[in-house]
Amino acid sequence: MTQRTSLDDTDRRLLGLLDQNAREPTASLARKIGLSRSATQERIARLERDGVIAGYTLRWGTGEAPEGLLAHVFLSLDARAGTSLPQALRTRAEVKRCHTVSGEFDMMLLVAVAGPKALDRLLDDIGRSPGVRRTQSAVVLDMKFERG
């Protein structure tokens, strides 16, 4: 966030509605939160400007995904990984998400690749990255649901 923003109940209701459907028309959002369309637009603009809303994205439904393969990749790291590994992973278009996690692994990635061979190549590349001790992957077979 660029500045500290204090969220009121109306902000939270608006964010909840946008989380459910970021493409809902402003007029519809305004009716649901009890504000005018222009006041709602101003509120959304402020939330974007303050970094509360960082962007809008596409979420796949439970139907068929496009051609390709999704996988979660778990990484065990040593101290050499430092802060450079996430920056290096950011340059890989296949890496859609990167999280640090607690437990047996230090980092978890969501990757999207064309197929098994592409996943094998990506895992080899990631495994050779400085600081990566080992990788373990789980191929996504089906998505039952997703929340924002």
Of 1-10, 65-74, 109-118, give the range with the top mean pLDDT: 109-118
Burial (CB count <10 Å: 0-12, 13-18, 19+), residue 64: exposed
Q: Tens digits of per-residue pLDDT, 62-113?
A: 555 556 899 999 999 987 666 788 988 999 999 999 999 999 999 999 999 9
Domain boundaries, the chain: 9-49, 69-139
Give the fold, CATH level 3, of 9-49: Arc Repressor Mutant, subunit A (1.10.10)
> What residues contact residue 67 under an 8 Å CB cut-off, 6+ apart?
114
pLDDT range class, residue 3, cuts 50, 70, 90: low
Higher pLDDT, 54 or 57: 54
Quote the distance between the C-alpha of residue 63 and its chain's center.
19
> β-strand 107-113 against 69-77: which pairing, if any?
antiparallel
Rounded to whole angstroms, the Cα distance separating 101 from 15 reads 26
Name the nearest CA neighbour of 131 among 66, 84, 65: 84
Q: Which two tokens stand for residue 45?
A: 């603009």
Name the nearest CA neighbour of 113 among 128, 99, 132, 93: 93
DSSP state of 114: S
Mean pLDDT, to the nearest integer, of 9-17?
90
Rounded to whole angstroms, the Cα distance separating 18 from 29 reads 8
Report the pLDDT value the prediction gives residue 4, as an integer from 0 to 100.
Answer: 57
Mean pLDDT, to the nearest integer, of 40-61?
85
Name the nearest CA neighbour of 143 among 68, 64, 72, 74: 64
3-state secondary structure of 5: coil
Kindly report the pTM of this predicted structure: 0.60
pLDDT range class, residue 2, cuts 50, 70, 90: very low
Give the fold, CATH level 3, of 69-139: Alpha-Beta Plaits (3.30.70)
Rounded to whole angstroms, the Cα distance separating 47 from 54 reads 9
Q: Dmax over Cα atoms in the chain, in whole Å?
A: 55
Mean pLDDT, to the nearest integer, of 126-133?
93
Given a cut of 70, whether residue 8 has pLDDT beyond it is yes
Mean pLDDT, to the nearest integer, of 117-124?
95
Given a cut of 80, whether residue 142 has pLDDT beyond it is yes
